[in-house]
Amino acid sequence: MATVLGRGTCGGHVTLLFTVDDLDDDPIRQGSRGAGLCLSDGSEAVARGESGDYSLRVRFLDGDGDTRMFQQVLDLLKDEIPEFGEMSWDISIRNHLPSSQGFGMSAAGAVAAAAAFQRALGLPHEESLRRSYMIAHRIERTNSTGLGDVTALAAGGVERRLVPGSPYSGENLDNGPGRAEGWSEGTPVVLAWRSSPGRHTSEYINNPDWKRLISEAGKTQMDFLSEGEWDVSRWKELLDSAEAFASDSRLINDAARATLLESGQNASERAGLATQTAVLLCMLGESIAIVPRDITGSQQLESLLAELDKEGLESTLTRIGQTA
């Protein structure tokens, strides 16, 4: 077989509120209810394969990363489609957002890589996309790197997750058990973070006390947000619920997060945007998302970047991605 090439991309995701639903023994049925923002920036992967002994070389084009996760992606693909095991593979990864900061980059990287491998073999687009989400969800749960990021990404936009679990499953890649829906206006989002990585997601979702606090707070907000149509008219309710969740779950009480939130608010005030923007904690990283309160307005958020730099934070301007 000649050399084959495939490319995959996937945006990141910011969780604003969530529950922890991980009691089922089947990772496909584990996940979360919640809500958040899917992002236009994330991860891109280019896979190259040629006939030879089964192997994988991973190259990161902008720093280091977790090579093990990409091996897991390829191994799961090989289990389902034996042709993957008949080739020697290389994959190049470029991340446009930092990892371990609450931007869903492990999920985005796994989806992008799985899509790139499958497109290299010429598998149908919809089939490969569904399989990419299913495989990424399994890996997220196996590694305790996420709960509902993949289900959220399968919906896109401003998403709400109504049923926990993988968005696709089974030999036929049927819908569910996870279910989410989204909408998008392409709204600008400023992300800001500290240069050092935040606490690993597993430190929270594997801790019984944190699980209880998070799930109780998330359930309270989702009992409200799950009702009615999910569209642009719910934006203010989402912002209010995100702020209430951060308080009720006590995640805002963490000194590092409280300082981070204050830095974002100071930057917004100096930029003259204090009343026009909401500063939200990203779950679960040491990072914040700054968004316009009026989603129908035309606020320019670029001025925030310089002010966040004065607070000692790294930042970038992105947008809410489109729905799937």
Whether the predicted pLDDT of 200 surpasses 70? no
Q: What is the pLDDT of residue 201?
A: 63
pLDDT in tens, 231-244: 999 999 999 999 99
Helices (H) and strands (E) counted in the chain, each on its own, are: 9, 12
Mean pLDDT of 12-23: 96
Q: Which is higher by pLDDT, 198 or 272?
A: 272
The overall average pLDDT reported for the chain is 94
> Residue 198: its pLDDT value, please?
60
What's the pLDDT band for 286 if we cut at 50, 70, 90? Answer: confident
Is the Cβ–Cβ distance between 44 and 112 less than 8 Å?
yes
pLDDT at 13 over 90: yes
3-state secondary structure of 254: coil
Please state, in angstroms and rounded to a whole number, the distance separating the CA atoms of residues 148 and 310.
33
Q: Domains in the chain and their CATH numbers?
A: 4-180 (3.30.230.10), 188-319 (3.30.70)
Residue 124 CB neighbour total at 10 angstroms: 10
- Considering only CA atoms, which of 111, 137, 140 is closest in space to residue 8? 111
pLDDT over 90 (residue 68)? yes
Confidence at residue 271, expressed as pLDDT on a 0 to 100 scale: 96
Nearest to 156 by CA among 288, 12, 311: 12
> Do 205 and 21 form a contact (C-beta atoms < 8 A)?
no
Q: 202 falls in which pLDDT band (50, 70, 90)?
A: low
Q: Which of 135, 140, 151 is nearest to 34 (CA)?
A: 151
Give per-residue burial for 236-254: e unless 16+ CB within 10 Å, then b.
eebbebbbebbebbebeee
pTM of this structure = 0.96
**What pLDDT, on a 0 to 100 scale, did the predictor assign at position 256?**
87
Using the predicted structure, report yes or no on whether residue 139 has a pLDDT greater than 70.
yes
Average pLDDT over residues 95-116: 96
d(CA 316, CA 160): 24
User: DSSP states of 212-246 as a string?
Assistant: HHHHHHHHHHHHHHTSS--SGGGHHHHHHHHHHHH
CA dihedral 18, 273, 262, 62 (to 10 degrees): 70
> What distance lies between CA 198 and its chain's CA centroid?
15
